[in-house]
Structure 1
Amino acid sequence: MASHIVGYPRMGPKRELKFALESFWDGKSSAEDLEKVATDLRASIWKQMAGAGIKYIPSNTFSYYDQVLDTTAMLGAVPERYSWTGGEIGFSTYFSMARGNATVPAMEMTKWFDTNYHFIVPELGPNTKFSYSSHKAVNEYKEAKALGVDTVPVLVGPVSYLLLSKPAKGVEKSFALLSLLSSILPVYKRSSPRVTNEEVQKAAAALKGSDHRRATNVSARLDAQQKKLNLPVLPTTTIGSFPQTVELRRVRREYKAKKISEEEYISAIKEEISKVVKIQEELDIDVLVHGEPERNDMVEYFGEQLSGFAFTANGWVQSYGSRCVKPPIIYGDVSRPNPMTVFWSKLAQSMTSRPMKGMLTGPVTILNWSFVRNDQPRFETCYQIALAIKKEVEDLEAGGIQVIQIDEAALREGLPLRKAEHAFYLDWAVHSFRITNCGVQDTTQIHTHMCYSNFNDIIHSIINMDADVITIENSRSDEKLLSVFREGVKYGAGIGPGVYDIHSPRIPSTEEIADRVNKMLAVLDTNILWVNPDCGLKTRKYNEVKPALTNMVSAAKLIRTQLASAK
């Protein structure tokens, strides 16, 4: 019996690719150094699969950032703003599309179907010119062949690529992306003789053939909460995490390995939290976060403290670029033996008179970013997690934390592919979230956050979550989220569509952020709009975070002044 797999983890057992990428982006190593790490990783992966006896070994499953972006490079479908002049696409153009640069923002990013894998969304139109501009697939096939390994090249199919794309700016939304099929087929044929015109034409032909009890009062409740917390119009906040330095990672590793005492660990984390709080106060941010220096990952951190979870040592899964996580395994009933975040949140709140957000990961996100036991329905496991988080929420509230954020970054990811199953999933997913905070006082403000996914088709379920404030990625998505509100969807709760892209090192100006906020105010009321980044700041550096947040706060103050003078 022949064996075959369609892909293999590409970060490396010790996250070699992650550290090589970040070193290259920081200018600490050369392109040759990065390519050497990548070449060694590919060789070891192919040899391991061959040694395991796999007959059909895949190639072209490796990527420096994302396989959809690799396909864009192969097709030469580079948007004009990146000033690419032709020829083989190199790292400069490739990473500019993924991360932006000093003058040009990155392309839109969204999630691959129902996973946490992020891909860079192609921008195509009738004037897009295609050319064979990246020989990566063929080169990697030859590379494996030289090692004595015969591989099966894996490509994102041409129909899938087109359907995952979006019309470029200025192109009608009704533009038929599949009309470009005949234009990209010649490039596909050059990159892989296994893709035939007949197969693609066949695929193209086949494609043709809640409870509102609290929600009704949420806007009035939000006004009362903001006055109680002394928040201005257009309050500013950060999402959660702050930069995770090498020193912080070292401290956590040494504490886990029992190389430093608990007292030394607490002292180091306390010092970092104090630094984060001081920075936010100096920047004049209204609602603060403690920065999460004690946390490794937003799911792993909680799973390690909940019963029923197990973890691998090196089971790294790529999310995008250099970002990777170790999904836990839920093997038994879930419960919370002890408080998980209360000590750190209370410590942070004691350092400031401003509101300090308690930061939690929601039950649906913990479920969807884990390997889940299959001996009971997923919703039962999710309800168990929700009840555990509910205890944490209540302990935070009892500890004096008046703003609690319960992130549901992965709510959209669990949506079944079959439309007939959507309603049932959304019902129990929303119910799980509401379980977590059903016992809090009306004076406690509940936030949630969702990132980098298409929420337009589930906006009514998001409203039914009944959070007081929701923050959602917006800056990379051409403000598609705002189109929902332009089309008449009524939303009375607080909302913070992100004002700048945290997955790019680019620092937006005050004017750019102010312009984005003004576009939001064209469709949202001033009393519900919050100003915040797209997502957490963990992947950024302090020399990027400080000026970006400074400009964000300045933009909010500028618009407050304009609004006051217009009255």
Structure 2
Amino acid sequence: MPTLTSVSGFPRIGRDRELKKSIEAYWKGKTGLAEVRAVGKALRAEHWRIQKDAGIDLIPSNDFSYYDQMLDTAILLGAVPQRYKRLAFADDEDTLFAMGRGYQGVQGDVTALPMKKWFTTNYHYLVPEISADTHIQLNSTKPFDEFNEAKALGILTKPVLIGPYTFLKLARNPQAEELEIDRGLINEVASVYAEVLGRFSELGAQWVQFDEPYLALDKEDGDVELFKSLYSIVLRARNRYSEGSAAVKVLLNTYFGHVADIYETLKLLGFDGIGMDFVEGRDENLAALKEYGVSEDTTIFAGVVSGRNIWRNDYADSLGVIDAIRTVTDRVAVGTASSLLHVPFSTQGEDGLNPTVLRHFAFAVEKLTEVKEIASLATATEEDRRGSRELAANQSLFDGTRVVADRQVTERLNKLTESDFTRSPARAIRREAQHEALGLPQLPTTTIGSFPQTGEVRSVRAKLRRGEISQDEYDRFIAGQIDEVIEHQEQIGLDVLVHGEFERNDMVEYFGQHLNGFLFTRNAWVQSYGTRCVKPPIVWGDVSRAEPITVRWSKYAQSRTKHVVKGMLTGPVTILNWSWPREDVSHEVQTRQLALAIRDEVLDLEAAGIKVIQIDEAALREKLPLRRTDWHKKYLDWAVPAFRLVHSGVKPTTQIHTHMCYSEFNDIIKDIDDMDADVISFEASRGDLVVLDAIQEARFETEVGPGVYDIHSPRIPGTQELVERIHAILRKADPDRVWINPDCGLKTRGNDETWPSLEHMVEATRQVRGELSSSSQV
């Protein structure tokens, strides 16, 4: 009997980012919603057909979104705060966009919902807000509409929804605090999911998938009971709607880690299918299956094909997992370990990579073939496996000849000592030296680094790439852009300036282009949030700095002003986390290689006269293991020292900044302080400043720059709004240790939004400084 195949989710932006382009054109007023809807419908049809043609049995629907699947789930459940309802948009999509990116116009003025990282990925989700007056009810037909849409094409899909447990664990109250989940809320939410099952049963769905990645986290008091309470209601409804063999089946899908600590409960609840991640949680999940067994009517959906990396699957390894599961149960399906949302669309068209290199990679479309081939091999005899051309071709990729180690990199790593990870003197002493050397005012103002990458900037870069202009012409253009942005920053009164990063296509790819060991793609885009897409580089071999990366333009910018100009670098952990890392070498080793390369750049910047150097570690929190017991031994014990290795060699008067964004920092505050930076800026405008409470409790020594406004929204904050924001910060932080800055870099914004916002920020800071000065003289 053939092995069932299943895909958890598929990329939605399109082969050529058609969805992104369509939505952004709508936001700019160039097209209407009808065009956006038509693009969405065409993409869904194309993606379903691709999966059907690949031989996938259970093809997902409702994995499509115009912005974010958590936001869709909030709307489905009616968790739409009143401030968005009051905008009274005629079209539901406009309400969704207002919740995702804020709105400022004739209908009103609202900020966006908070945005956080989706577990250990670089994808950002919108945090649902549930208040005492939120009425949970079925509020949307989207999942049913898309199921019927596919059905009309002759494709019976498997509807996918964020599960009720994960939804409630990630939702927050209006103060950005954890929800108090009472019996009433449990019943309301579970009843909607039960109603959803009933509707799909009527529509003829065979499977419905509930994604519960939050099960891969440690369980707090009450978590297991919460899960059981929710699903006892949902599964009772499934039984109620069942009609013999036509009953809709429930697939409880988990990913990003193991669920060994709750597997027995999952088994006893009687799910028709349990999806388990055998890429990131293999050993623990296998042990749980062997210890507790599998219910007679339950199918284990073995997630053996990674949805998180682009390297080809090792078929022998995956078959070993499936064979091990089959010692417990014969009811095994083969699938992806998570949604393929987190990988690029297809390797087709990547003709910039040598075919001998490209054969090592599988993007979303190619992973469908991997799922199908593994499923076919899973039921083959040993003799048939030995004679399989597919298996032989696959195994040739893993013969150990792909990379030749760089001896110089290895020797340099081996020579590191404890002193290379320690900066001296102590931070308090450095702080006094830096205060005297830099001469900055109280509440110094700055930005995170990048300024808007306008159409002109992108066009000129493209002309250089196509050979239409010379390098000298391009360099003169970049110099002109720097001159303009330096002058404009001086005019509005910023204290610490930046050069704008106009020469950089991306904060990671740009560095990779100047490092040995990296490869680059043409079109391997991945959704990061909303319509924002990134194109991560590939770590192919050992990493070292090929040449100075940022020194020229940082030195030029400093020569154009008497103000302090920050040197802008991306840190080693972020470079690795926002690249496609190797799977044949540990992340620790790759990060140390990167740290040495960036260390060389830091010392060169300092030698060139740059007094403030920002080393962005925006993604530090992102890859923190989901299980708290793994935080230090599997990550922080090498990630934090890697950052210290980067900056430990600078003078006491050189001020080291870092930046982090859109993650939960509270629980690793002490570790962030241990990075031994002098200043940290971080996202705070969407998080209600709760991180400052943790900073206060931890007696944080690093100076802080909580973002005072949200750069991921097009709205322009007013001066008084920012004055109030700064006051809120100062109620929780020492004004002598606070910097004023936006949430993040300004690359994705337009000049029409950026400069007024910064002018208001500087003016608000001046007003607060005046208030502080007056109060100190009383």
TM range (shorter): over 0.9
> Which stretch of the first structure deviates more once superposed, 208-217 or 44-53?
208-217
State the partner residue of 1:388: 597
Contact kept? 1:358, 1:403, Cα under 8 Å:
yes
Out of 107, 112, 127, which is 2:118 matched to? 112
> Which stretch of the first structure deviates more once superposed, 203-212 or 266-275?
203-212
Q: Secondary structure at the match of 2:161?
A: coil
State the partner residue of 2:613: 404
1:48-96 Cα shifts (integer Å, max 9, x gaps)? 2222222221111111111000101111111122235999970221111
Q: Secondary structure at the match of 1:128?
A: coil
Q: Secondary structure at the match of 1:558?
A: helix
| 2:378 counterpart of 1:168 | no
Output the CA distance in 1 between the equivalents of 2:432 and 2:183: 48
How many angstroms does 1:166 deviate by? 1.1
Contact kept? 2:71, 2:126, Cα under 8 Å:
yes
Output the CA distance in 2 between the equivalents of 1:356 and 1:317: 32
Alignment: residue pair count = 565
Q: Secondary structure at the match of 2:120?
A: coil
Output the CA distance in 2 between the equivalents of 1:491 and 1:381: 29
Output the CA distance in 2 between the equivalents of 1:268 and 1:184: 56
How many angstroms does 1:118 deviate by? 0.6
How many angstroms does 1:410 deviate by? 0.5
> Which stretch of the first structure deviates more once superposed, 206-215 or 471-480?
206-215
Out of 144, 148, 154, which is 1:148 matched to? 154
Out of 226, 247, 260, which is 2:469 matched to? 260
Out of 99, 102, 107, which is 2:101 matched to? 99
Output the CA distance in 1 between the equivalents of 2:434 and 2:89: 57
| 2:734 counterpart of 1:525 | yes
1:143-542 equivalences in 2 (<5 Å):
143-169=149-175, 175-176=180-181, 180-192=185-197, 193=200, 194=208, 198=232, 200=234, 217-424=426-633, 425-486=635-696, 488-542=697-751
Q: Secondary structure at the match of 1:234?
A: coil
Q: Secondary structure at the match of 1:309?
A: strand
Out of 8, 31, 34, which is 1:32 matched to? 34
In the alignment, residue 648 of structure 2 is paired with which amino acid? C
Output the CA distance in 2 between the equivalents of 1:268 and 1:190: 59
Output the CA distance in 1 between the equivalents of 2:657 and 2:557: 18
Contact kept? 2:496, 2:564, Cα under 8 Å:
yes
Output the CA distance in 2 between the equivalents of 1:289 and 1:566: 32
In the alignment, residue 150 of structure 2 is paired with which amino acid? A
Q: Secondary structure at the match of 1:142?
A: helix
Contact kept? 2:191, 2:233, Cα under 8 Å:
no
1:281-307 Cα shifts (integer Å, max 9, x gaps)? 111100011111111111111112211
> Which stretch of the first structure deviates more once superposed, 379-388 or 511-520?
511-520
Output the CA distance in 2 between the equivalents of 1:225 and 1:316: 41
How many angstroms does 1:359 deviate by? 0.8
Contact kept? 1:125, 1:177, Cα under 8 Å:
no
Output the CA distance in 2 between the equivalents of 1:207 and 1:84: 44
In the alignment, residue 155 of structure 1 is paired with which amino acid? L
Aligned in 2, Cα 1:376/1:177: closer, same or farther, shift over 3 Å? farther
Aligned in 2, Cα 1:366/1:189: closer, same or farther, shift over 3 Å? same
Higher relative contact order (CA 8 A, sep 6+): 1
Q: Secondary structure at the match of 1:335?
A: strand
Output the CA distance in 2 between the equivalents of 1:28 and 1:474: 33
1:357-413 Cα shifts (integer Å, max 9, x gaps)? 111110001111122112222101100000000011111111111111100011001
State the partner residue of 1:10: 12
Aligned in 2, Cα 1:179/1:172: closer, same or farther, shift over 3 Å? farther
Contact kept? 1:2, 1:55, Cα under 8 Å:
yes
Output the CA distance in 1 between the equivalents of 2:694 and 2:424: 18
Output the CA distance in 1 between the equivalents of 2:177 and 2:547: 54
1:227-272 Cα shifts (integer Å, max 9, x gaps)? 3222111000000111111121122122122222111211222222
Output the CA distance in 2 between the equivalents of 1:179 and 1:498: 36
Out of 68, 71, 93, which is 1:69 matched to? 71
Contact kept? 1:159, 1:200, Cα under 8 Å:
no
How many angstroms does 1:181 deviate by? 2.5
Q: Which stretches in structure 1 are left out of the alignment for 5+ residues?
A: none
Output the CA distance in 2 between the equivalents of 1:121 and 1:201: 26
Contact kept? 2:424, 2:652, Cα under 8 Å:
no
In the alignment, residue 180 of structure 1 is paired with which amino acid? L
> Which stretch of the first structure deviates more once superposed, 215-224 or 23-32?
215-224
In the alignment, residue 46 of structure 1 is paired with which amino acid? W
How many angstroms does 1:172 deviate by? 7.8
How many angstroms does 1:123 deviate by? 1.1
1:123-142 Cα shifts (integer Å, max 9, x gaps)? 11343202222211111111
Contact kept? 2:89, 2:95, Cα under 8 Å:
no
Output the CA distance in 1 between the equivalents of 2:179 and 2:11: 37
Aligned in 2, Cα 1:271/1:131: closer, same or farther, shift over 3 Å? same
> Which stretch of the first structure deviates more once superposed, 54-63 or 552-561?
54-63
Q: Percent identity?
A: 50
- TM-score, normalisation: structure 1: 0.94
Contact kept? 2:433, 2:652, Cα under 8 Å:
no
How many angstroms does 1:147 deviate by? 2.1
Contact kept? 2:9, 2:60, Cα under 8 Å:
yes
How many angstroms does 1:117 deviate by? 0.7
Q: Which stretches in structure 2 are left out of the alignment for 5+ residues?
A: 201-207, 211-229, 237-251, 253-258, 266-417
